Structure 1
Amino acid sequence: MASWLPETLFEIVGQGPPPSKDYYQLPVTRSQVIFRWWKISLRSEYRSTKPGEAKENHEDFLENLHLQGQPALIFGARILDYVINLRKGKFDFVERLSDDLLLNIISYLHLEDIARLCQTSHRFAKLCMSDKLWEQIVQSTCNTITPDVRALAEDTGWRQLFFTNKLQLQRQLHKRKQKYGSLREKQP
């Protein structure tokens, strides 16, 4: 593994699938894959159970299907594939970026590029369709956003607002004002 990489290449923690309350940790270092678990239970037979740990070097981890099965069960097949790819020297640095940072980056793309990116993975599809992204895009393309437009966007969604033409937008704002204006008049 390259020396410019940090000692811990990847780490994930989480709770086991229901009804389990057990806690798990999977750190992957430059030389080892470590799987740790803590049994969480009110049952008397498990109260004295100590935390467990299984360590394997990268080569042995690839051969140990039982050890591979535990992270796959707890964290999902996608995480197991990611750990195996790390072992093979395939580093996906984009995968390690937070959603907020990716949304910020995506907001600078052209619409055609966002449409293409949306088709690359489930994660990017979710990010490219998120209201948080489209709110950033609308704010960057519009000079001002009135409170009425903001309220309409929160009702219909920022993406929908972005793709609405001006005439439709004016009609929707007018209907919204009439609807909420008549509701305010009825209230004492």
Structure 2
Amino acid sequence: MASLLGERLFEISGQGPPPQKDFFQLVITKNEVILTSWRISLRLECRGLPPNQQKISHQDFQNDKTLQYEVGAVFGQRILDYTAALCQGKFDYLERLPDDIMLRIMYCLELKDMALLAQTSRRFKTLFSSEKFWEQTVRNCAGFNRDIEDIANAMGWKRTFLTFFHNSDDKKQQPNLIPLLGYLGCSYR
């Protein structure tokens, strides 16, 4: 599992809270937390200032309340909690799996469960909305043939599934996904 971890575990950047206009970047590597800030100001004395960079080990970050406060103020409590979890060695391996492996795992789930999984993160939503996912879903349906493949190539795999296969099974086995797809922001027409 350690091979899934790149050198950079997490990276986020953005503007600080008002009234400041400073720009911040948070990078978490395998060994340290790096918070870089660029001063944004119209004042002459601030022009040409180099960015301020704070590098600190994971262990030291857990004890540095000032830096934790700054990360929380700039990026929010959710990012602070995630940063603290990474510093404690709590990695989200599932999110780091390659797309082809994630798609294989998703194919083992019921369609309703996949739609619910898509609500948990942007990555799962993107995979659930991908043509690759819907192509494999249609190819695994009973009644798939060359004619269906030609239709799917013309009108899209998701639309083909919803048109030809979604309502063909017993309603109890396969719940109506149209409202759930709409909730996820997926177009189904």
- The two structures share one fold, judged by TM-score above 0.5: yes
Q: Which residue of 2 aligns with 1:87?
A: 87
In the superposition, relative to structure 1, how do residues 11 and 63 fare at CA in structure 2: closer, same or farther (>3 Å)?
A: same
**Residue 122 of structure 1: which of 120, 124, 131 is its match?**
120
What residue is the counterpart of 1:165 in the other structure?
A: 168
Which AA in structure 2 matches 1:109?
C
> Partners in 1 of 2:79 and 2:101 — Cα distance?
19
Structure 2 unmatched ranges of 5 or more: 170-189
TM-score (norm 1): 0.58
Partner residue, 1:22: 23
2:107 counterpart SS class: coil
Shift in Å, 1:53? 1.1
| Aligned residue number for residue 108 of structure 1 | 107
Deviations 1:109-134 (A, max 9, x none): 1426x617835962176257424322
User: Where in structure 1 are there 5+ consecutive unaligned residues?
Assistant: 167-188
Pairwise CA distance, 1:51: 0.7
Number of residue pairs aligned between Structure 1 and Structure 2: 158
Q: Which moved more, 1:45-54 or 1:32-41?
A: 32-41
Aligned to 2:150: 146
Question: 1:154-180: per-residue Cα shift (whole Å, max 9, x none)?
Answer: 7x74663441429xxxxxxxxxxxxxx
Query: Percent identity between the aligned chains?
Result: 27
Give secondary structure in 1 for the equivalent of 2:56. strand
1:71 aligns with 2:47: no
- Name the CA shift for 1:61/1:119 in 2 (closer, same or farther; >3 Å): same
Q: Describe the superposition over 1:65-99 as per-residue Cα deviations: whole angstroms up to 9, x where unpaired.
A: 3322443455554443232122223222112235x
Structure 1 residues 24 and 128, CA gap change in structure 2 (3 angstroms): closer
Letter paired with 1:84: A
- TM-score, reference length from structure 2: 0.58
Cα distance, 1:25 vs. partner?
3.5
Contact preservation (8 Å) 2:28, 2:83:
no
* In structure 2, C-alpha distance between the alignment counterparts of 1:92 and 1:73, rounded to whole Å: 24
Change (3 A) 1:95 1:119: closer
* 1:12-44 alpha-carbon deviations (Å, 9 max, x no partner): 1433369958251412332x3221223456x35
**Aligned-CA RMSD value:** 4.1
Q: Which has the higher contact order (CA 8 A, sep 6+)?
A: 2
* Alpha-carbon distance in structure 1 between the residues aligned to 2:135 and 2:3: 37
Larger fraction in helix: 1
- What SS class does the counterpart of residue 118 from structure 1 fall into? helix
